[in-house]
Amino acid sequence: MNNENILSAKEFIQEVFIEETARLVDAGFYHFAFVIMAQGLETLGSFLDSKPLKAREQSKLRFSHAINRLMPKEYSQFNNNHRLYDQLRASLAHTFTTSRSLLLSSKDNPEFGKKHLQEIDEKLILVAEFFYNDFKKACIRLLDGMDKGIISDKKINTDFYFTFNK
């Protein structure tokens, strides 16, 4: 593999987090989109510290940094005591399900589709399309910070990407 096929971290964020996740949402693969976005927030948060990308035991902190610094401010109120990390990111990453205190939906759901970031019966509702729009904004904020030199780029291993995509 030659170096011209290696994606930069910025290209990876654009292609995988923004473009491929949009295709998942558009195709109605909401569950998989939530998995990518929850994990992606942690990755975005990794660019907000000075540690290596694969630094150990940073998941909760990095996810929270992304929620608090890159996502719209409404999300931070739901991440008190790392609630979103525990109920969304950790649950999806480890069991491929969410906690009982979280309800994932899409805009087309007649009961929950317009209730993004609302709590009903002690369950927080996340609507895929709205969550994706906010996740995309977080990605763009990070990319803008990189372009301005406020946020440092990190080496990300994207060699594998071309084994199945190109």
- Per-residue confidence (pLDDT) for residue 58, from 0 to 100: 81
More confident residue, 31 or 97: 31
Q: pLDDT at residue 166 above 50?
A: no
- Per-residue confidence (pLDDT) for residue 94, from 0 to 100: 77
pLDDT tier, 92 (very low <50, low <70, confident <90, very high otherwise)? confident
Q: What is the tally of helices (H) and strands (E) in the chain?
A: 8, 3
Would you say residue 35 lies in a domain? yes
Would you say residue 40 lies in a domain? yes
- Which domain does 86 fall in, by range? 3-97+128-165
Would you say residue 133 lies in a domain? yes
CB 49 within 8 A of CB 65: yes
CA distance 37 to 26: 14
Would you say residue 104 lies in a domain? no
pLDDT tier, 35 (very low <50, low <70, confident <90, very high otherwise)? very high
More confident residue, 29 or 156: 29
Rg (CA), the chain: 16
Would you say residue 90 lies in a domain? yes
Please identify which residue in the block is written with the tokens 């979280």. Answer: 102
More confident residue, 32 or 96: 32
Could you tell me where the DSSP H helices lie in 28-127?
A: 30-46, 59-69, 83-84, 91-95
**Mean pLDDT computed over 34-58:** 85
| One-letter identity of residue 99 | S
Would you say residue 123 lies in a domain? no
- Per-residue confidence (pLDDT) for residue 32, from 0 to 100: 94
**Mean pLDDT computed over 104-122:** 94
119 Cα distance to chain centroid: 21
First and final CA of the chain: distance in angstroms?
Answer: 12
DSSP symbol at 102: E
- Per-residue confidence (pLDDT) for residue 1, from 0 to 100: 40
CB 62 within 8 A of CB 82: no
CB 71 within 8 A of CB 134: yes
Domain count, the chain: 1
DSSP symbol at 157: -
Average model confidence (pLDDT) across the chain? 85
Would you say residue 106 lies in a domain? no
Would you say residue 37 lies in a domain? yes
